[in-house]
Structure 1
Amino acid sequence: MTINWQKVVIGPSTSIKEALRVIDKEALRVALVVDKNKLVGMVTDGDVRRGILQGIELSASVSEVMNTNPISANASLSSSDLKALMQSRKILALPIVNDDDQLVGLKTLYDTLVIEKRENPIFIMAGGFGTRLKPLTDNCPKPMLKVGGKPMLETLINNFKNHGFYKFYISTHYLPEVIMDYFGNGDNFDVEITYVHEETPLGTGGALSLLPDNLPKEPLIMINGDILTNVDFSKVLDFHVKQASDATMCVRDYEVKIPFGVIEGEGHEITGMVEKPTYRYFVNAGIYIVSNHIINSLSKNERLDMPSLFENKQVEGLKTLKFPIHEYWLDVGRHDDFKKAQVDIHELGL
């Protein structure tokens, strides 16, 4: 939130002259009118000028000239959502309120252009053999295959960077030197990269046990290195924290269309018929948020996949949640997926 936004907060009985002084002094170009912690209006110098033209005295209360229905946004919205709202409504300052309509901040258009750094570690799984994409992967790890002129892994890292993340851990196994020679320690990409090498494949969950002891304590985002997506990772992480989840799995809505009539029954008896039904399921999207204590609980070098990890933690009584994602997402696992990615990348702006 904007620094010192509290200094532009005034009451409805404040004089127009005092409101103008606040607007001028704080250089935020607005004053926020609050009554009992709730936003009741907003004043700009334009509002004051219009009031003067109507003959309203500067000694009158600011309630005479304020906008009583200002555009505001809920604190749960991401920076990208706030930016889009401000651009669409052509506003330079946006009050932020909580679920009780209480003022909790002020966002300016400038704020939305500044990316706030986040200390959460990002763990990218890049050690697979990419067998289904042979011969493209004979001499190249799958995440290093180029889509839109650059490796998929670079696109993934850039997407995280755009949301303020800069601490990366990359799991390698197959042809690790290709990845390490390209990215190095991350300096050329304005990020920090630490490599975690699997001598033998440990599965997605097992690889977590190889992370160093000095790993940041914030929740970790884990993702498969062959995923092309424009998911707002900040929003996923905020959900995990707000819900006090121990482990969160991102899921996608998946439809299965049956081209025939489905017959339901018990024994030989028909109990129902559904013509060409569509069944909907949530499927694993290969993106996870894992709290630090989960990582610390894992045995070193023990093979474990993430679905099994979630099942184990459920048995232990820990909180495991799913987070549906609706943004673009593509698992580039087959040749058809790779061809689709080459087309889609130009529309994603990644």
Structure 2
Amino acid sequence: MKNWKSILVLSSQSLLETMQIIDSSSLQFAIVIDEENRLLGTVTDGDIRRGILRGESLESPIIHIMNSDPIIATEQDTKKYCHKLMQSKKLKQLPIVNKQKQVIDVLFKDYQVTPINDNTVILMVGGLGTRLRPLTDTIPKPMLKVGDKPILETIIESFKKCGYTNFILSVNYKKEMIQNYFQDGSAFGVIITYIEENKRMGTAGALSLLPERPTKPIFVMNGDLLTQVHFEQLMEFHLEHKAVATMCVREYEYQIPYGVIETNGANLVSIKEKPVHKSFVNAGIYVLNPEAFDYIPQDEFYDMPTLFEKLMAQENVTAAFPIREYWLDIGRMDDFERANKEYNM
């Protein structure tokens, strides 16, 4: 029996507080109430990420981004009706309210603790890792150890925790070290096959080497990232937005070290002292539908941003999934040292 009372959130609570409640409950859902326990709305992980994309602060009250018109049932409705409603509307949760609209129960769709998902995960692990020399003179970057295991093993384990066990590794530099370590994946409880890049192909170009076109959405991820992104949430976000391609993004901020001047002609209008600018940048994790492969040329260098630009130019639906979890690109020596100090699955 799930403790639905643990996912009740007051309308005055912040996005950050709600995120923590959603993550700690593992139910990926929260119900917003007033002081009298009356239902005001609901919030999902996707609602929070969309709010972040719109520029909402983590300190904003959750009422700013909640769904204020959720599907609900009443105490007069039968269990049979409620289950039919959940099935027809494809709901994972259904709040039950009394005549005063107070929450008295929540029904949840039954699911496995660790679902089995057959979407393929393609990991790009063929890079030279030149910025990490001399460490990468003798070992490929994905095989560098963070903690007591290679970066690539940690990535595979994080997908496996979300139920994804089908992997294709795109290899090149010192490929034998990767293939000898992971082999067919059976020792790690997964299935691993390999494609080999004989030249630089780019993140998207390497996908043209796949022996057959996928029939379901696939993950594509750089093999030098450490993250605690919940990949099932990413896939749900992608499907919910009916996107052909989804790019994970993260917020990047930088401070201009000078006073920024705004003028109107020759007149000084304002001075902003050392302002901080925020932008979303590519995080190196993607979900692609099979139809995205129609835009990938055969046996050519083709990077993922180029693919997204092509998809957008052809008016395909593309989505941005903001990462709010831990994320680190191990591109330089100080990144590698930082990862070994702070990363802990």
Same fold, TM-score > 0.5, yes or no? yes
Q: 1:203 is matched with which residue?
A: 202
Q: What do residues 311-342 of structure 1 show as CA deviations (whole Å, max 9, x unaligned)?
A: 01111111111111100000000111001100
In structure 2, what is the equivalent of residue 153 of structure 1? 152
Deviation per residue, 1:130-149 (Å, 9 max, x gap): 00000000011101100011
**Percent pairwise identity:** 43
Q: Does 1:327 align with 2:325?
A: yes
Which residue of structure 2 lines up, in the alignment, with residue 290 of structure 1? 288
Q: Secondary structure at the match of 2:118?
A: coil
Query: Equivalent residue for 2:140?
Result: 141
Q: Describe how 1:191-340 pairs up with structure 2 within 5 A.
A: 191-213=190-212, 215-265=213-263, 269-340=267-338
Aligned to 1:177: 176
Amino acid at match of 2:289: S
CA contact (8 A) 2:228 2:326 kept: yes
Change (3 A) 1:143 1:70: closer
> Looking at CA atoms only, which structure, 1 or 2, has the larger radius of gyration?
1
Deviations, residues 54-105 of structure 1 (Å, cap 9, x unaligned): xxxxxxxxxxxxxxx96779xxx9xx8484469xxxxxxxxxx993124436
**What letter matches 1:302 in structure 2?**
E
Partner AA of 1:178 in structure 2? M
Distance in structure 2 (CA, Å) of the matches to 1:71 and 1:147: 35
Residue correspondence of structure 1 range 60-139 to structure 2 within 5 A: 81=23, 83-84=25-26, 99-102=70-73, 103=82, 104=86, 106-107=107-108, 114-139=113-138
Alpha-carbon distance between aligned partners in 1 of 2:128 and 2:108, rounded to the nearest angstrom: 46
Deviations 1:179-222 (A, max 9, x none): 00000011111111111110001000101111121x54111111
The 3 A distance-change label for structure 1 pair 121 and 272 is same
SS of the aligned residue for 2:309 comes to helix
Quickly say closer, same or farther: Cα 1:337–1:284, change in 2 above 3 A: same
Report the equivalent of 1:60.
none
Asked if 1 retains the 8 angstrom alpha-carbon contact of 2:308 and 2:318, the reply is yes
Amino acid at match of 1:140: I
Give the residue type in structure 1 aligned to 2:72: D
**What letter matches 2:285 in structure 1?**
I
Residues of 1 paired with 2:116 and 2:270: CA distance?
56
Amino acid at match of 2:165: Y
Kindly provide the CA deviation profile for residues 269-322 of structure 1, in whole angstroms up to 9, marking residues without a partner as x: 534321110100001100111111112442211111111110011111111111
Q: TM-score, normalised by structure 2?
A: 0.71
1:119 aligned counterpart, secondary structure: strand
Task: Write out per-residue CA displacement over residues 22-52 of structure 1, whole angstroms, 9 at most, x where no aligned residue.
Answer: xxxxxx7x9xxxxxxxxxxx9xxxxxxxxxx
- CA–CA separation in structure 2 for the residues paired with 1:267 and 1:152: 54
In the alignment, residue 184 of structure 1 is paired with which amino acid? Q
Q: Is the 8 A contact 1:209 1:296 kept in 2?
A: no
Superposed displacement of residue 248, structure 1: 0.6
Q: Secondary structure at the match of 2:278?
A: strand
Which structure 1 segments of 5+ residues have no match? 1-27, 31-41, 43-68, 87-96
- 1:109-157 CA-partner distances (Å, limit 9, x unpaired): x956x31110111010100000000000001110110001100000000
Q: CA deviation at 1:237?
A: 0.7
One-letter amino acid of the structure 2 residue matched with residue 232 of structure 1: H
**Unmatched tracts of structure 2, length 5 or more:** 9-18, 29-43, 45-68, 74-81, 87-91, 93-106
Paired position in structure 2 for 1:190: 189
1:197 & 1:271 partners in 2: Cα distance? 58
Partner Cα separation in structure 1 for residue 329 and residue 158 of structure 2: 16
Listed one character per residue, the Cα deviations across residues 238-272 of structure 1 (whole Å, up to 9, x for unaligned) are 01001100111110011111222112336655343
Q: Is the 8 A contact 1:228 1:332 kept in 2?
A: yes
Aligned to 2:48: none
One-letter code aligned to 1:227:
L
Does the C-alpha gap of structure 1 residues 276 and 72 become closer, same or farther in structure 2, counting only changes over 3 Å?
closer
Task: Tell me the TM-score normalised to structure 1 length.
Answer: 0.70
- Secondary structure of the residue that 1:120 maps to in structure 2? strand
Structure 2 residue matching 1:207: 3-state secondary structure: helix
